[in-house]
Structure 1
Amino acid sequence: MISVENLSVSYGDLRALADVSLDVADGEFVTVLGPSGCGKTTLLRTIGGLEVPTTGEVTVDGDPPEVAQADARLGFVFQEHTLLPWKSAIENVTFLRRMAGKDPDPEGARDLLATTGLDGFEDARPGELSGGMKQRVAIARAIHLGADVLLMDEPFGELDEITRDEMSVEILRLWRENRKTVVFVTHSVPEAVFLGDRCVVVSGAADPADPTDGDDAPGRIVAEFEVDLPRPRDESVFGSEAFGAQVARVRRALHDDA
């Protein structure tokens, strides 16, 4: 389980996050939603051990994030795919596992590429792949690492809307098969609702109860929603009345806080 307790992160005089608490259960898919600059990426990076708390505590299964990271229990998927351009798709998928000191599993890597729709592209280099295909390789790489937790920072942000929808369906299918714990940062309300068991809304709007808040008000969790949509989910969900109602509810929380 991921536990975030009273987390604050500051960079000098700039407060990025203030008094954030969040628990994520094993196998849960939690989406983190908010406007640009609200601190949601800082929250994700702190969970992953890439940022250090100023105050508060973050643990992954009871350990500090840096310990979980060193044990290869955390996998990252960023907006930029970060693939090595001189390596083939399958070499990129197996690279992190080798770096973590784990036994190579080329057959497992091939199976993952096949399940992400990249059968036949194992030997292609990133320059020969589309944006969506590159992100599929990056997701396969994170899963192949064998990490218990996947931290995903707007991985579909550079994709067109149709490809984003396709990738959302794909990531849910992979999650269903592997049942990792996922924390997924996004700007998109429909994406957050479609993917998540729970949607966490972060805002950087000033808190009138906090006299220290100014123009650089830190990010705080201002709302949480259980997503009441049955699983498994596919493209048919997007046109449903229940989905529209959930999206409208989350949008209201965003706009009311802004």
Structure 2
Amino acid sequence: MISLEDVTVAFDGFTAISNVDLRVEQGEFVTIVGPSGCGKTTLLRTIGGLEEPTSGRVRIDGRSPEAAQTNADIGFVFQQHTLFPWKSALENVTFLRKTAGNAPEADAARALLRSMGLEGFEDARPKELSGGMKQRVSIARALHLDADVLLMDEPFGELDEITRDELGVEIRDLWRRERKTVVFVTHSVPEAVFLADRCLVMCGQPGRIEATFDVDLPEPREEDVFGTRSFQEQVAQVRQTLHENYA
């Protein structure tokens, strides 16, 4: 479980986020959507211990983010894949477990790559993979770490729309099987609604959580959900809130 209590983060006089309270339950998939500059990434980095709060408190299962990181309980997936170019896809997936002091499980890593549609590419180097395939490897790497919390910062931001949709279906399906606690930052309202159990709308400078939407969509979620009236209505509600509070 993730909890933030009255968290403010400031840099050299600039306040990025202010007085944020948030609770993410174990196994919940939460998305954060908002305009550029509203503090989405700062909030995510603060949850993960990559930024220090100026005031307030962050806890992951009752511990500081730093303690959770030390115990390899936080996995990150960023917009850029951050793979090692000299390592194969399989070696990239197993690397984090090694650095965390845990024995890599090659069979489990291969199974993750297979589940991400990368069977046959285990020995491929990043230069031999498309952008979508590289992000699949990054996601498999974070999952192979077996962290309880997965923090994702616009991981599909550089991908084309069709690949984004495909990866969204895959991520949601993996989440249903693994039941990790996921916080996912995106600029895309449809993506935020499709993926989430709960969608948070951030606005303002400094950033704040302006609204929370409980997403009601059928499971498992497939691409045909995009054409449903329920999905379109929920996207419209989130988008309207963004426009009403844009600053």
Indicate whether the TM-score tops 0.5. yes
Give aligned pairs, total. Answer: 246
Secondary structure of 2:147's counterpart equals coil
For residues 165 and 172 of structure 2, the distance between their equivalents in structure 1, rounded to whole angstroms, comes to 11
Secondary structure of 2:4's counterpart equals strand
* Residue 209 of structure 1: aligned partner: none
* Residue 38 of structure 2: aligned partner: 38
**Structure 1 letter corresponding to 2:77:** V
* Residue 115 of structure 2: aligned partner: 115
* Residue 218 of structure 1: aligned partner: 206
* Residue 232 of structure 1: aligned partner: 220
**Structure 2 letter corresponding to 1:249:** Q
TM-score (ref. length: structure 1): 0.95
For residues 243 and 104 of structure 2, the distance between their equivalents in structure 1, rounded to whole angstroms, comes to 48
**2:147 is the alignment partner of 1:185:** no
Match of 1:242 among 221, 230, 236: 230
For residues 58 and 232 of structure 1, the distance between their equivalents in structure 2, rounded to whole angstroms, comes to 32
* Residue 211 of structure 1: aligned partner: none
The one-character-per-residue Cα deviations of 1:106-135 (angstroms, maximum 9, x if unpaired) are 111001001100000000000000000000
Q: How far did 1:103 drift?
A: 1.1
Secondary structure of 1:50's counterpart equals coil
Secondary structure of 2:27's counterpart equals coil
Q: Which stretches of structure 1, 4 residues or longer, exceed 6 Å deviation after superposition?
A: none
* Residue 161 of structure 1: aligned partner: 161
* Residue 18 of structure 2: aligned partner: 18
Q: How far did 1:80 drift?
A: 0.3
Secondary structure of 1:132's counterpart equals helix
The one-character-per-residue Cα deviations of 1:135-158 (angstroms, maximum 9, x if unpaired) are 000000000001000000000000
* Residue 152 of structure 1: aligned partner: 152
Q: How far did 1:230 drift?
A: 2.0
Q: How far did 1:104 drift?
A: 1.5
**Structure 2 letter corresponding to 1:245:** E
* Residue 208 of structure 1: aligned partner: none
Report % sequence identity.
68
Unaligned runs of 5+ in 2: none
For residues 116 and 85 of structure 1, the distance between their equivalents in structure 2, rounded to whole angstroms, comes to 20
* Residue 213 of structure 1: aligned partner: none
TM-score (ref. length: structure 2): 0.99
For residues 232 and 20 of structure 1, the distance between their equivalents in structure 2, rounded to whole angstroms, comes to 32
Secondary structure of 2:76's counterpart equals strand
For residues 156 and 164 of structure 2, the distance between their equivalents in structure 1, rounded to whole angstroms, comes to 6
Q: How far did 1:165 drift?
A: 0.3
